[in-house]
Amino acid sequence: MQSAPKQRRLPPWLKRPLPRSKGQGPLDALLDEQRLHTVCEEANCPNKAQCFAHGTATFMILGDVCTRRCQFCSVKSGRPPNPPDPDEPQRLADTAAAMKLEHVVVTSVDRDDLADGGSEHWAAVVRALNAALPDATIEVLTPDFQGRKEQINAVMDARPRIFNHNIETVPS
């Protein structure tokens, strides 16, 4: 009679703690107080607990409702109930400064309901971050702005250090 094969142990980097419930931890409290969203929270990222434990997060601007319905995404979709919050750029910059971030990552929901796709709001966020954290690296992960170069240029003129494009939104 043969014995069952010995199970291999999972490597330590593959073992992740379960995400904590919203409302636990100082970063959750700070984000709630500042009324900021993270893609970590909105997209149910399995790495949220690890990132939040290290004081990092990917900020998500322009609300928490996306105008697109990508099958792979957990972010709420529909018609956003509010225009962009004009205070969000400064609140985000103040929060990033309070966290003493050296590298700030910003993404957003798609806002096809806005004439400029949210590009002016994006630019305001980058300018606020550059002013609050002049030595930090500002990385943006923008929507496709429906291919409108003037909207991409508006974000680039604000001078993010790293510009990434969300390729999942590009039609095949």
131-140 pLDDT, tens digit per residue, is 999 999 999 9
Q: Out of 24-28, 114-118, 126-130, 160-164, which region has the weakest mean confidence (pLDDT)?
A: 24-28
Average pLDDT, the chain: 85
Cβ neighbors of 80 (< 8 A, separation 6 or more) are: 62, 63, 65, 66, 67, 109, 111, 113
Three-state SS sequence of 23-37: CCCHHHHHHHHCCCE
- 3-state DSSP assignment of residue 137: strand
Average confidence (pLDDT) over 62-80: 87
How many whole angstroms separate alpha carbon 85 and alpha carbon 89?
A: 8
Decide if pLDDT at 170 tops 70.
no
Q: Do residues 48 and 39 lie in contact, with contact meaning Cβ atoms separated by under 8 Å?
A: no
- Measuring CA to CA, which residue among 97, 167, 90 is closest to residue 125? 90
Structure tokens at 31: 């984000």
pTM: 0.80
Average confidence (pLDDT) over 16-30: 63
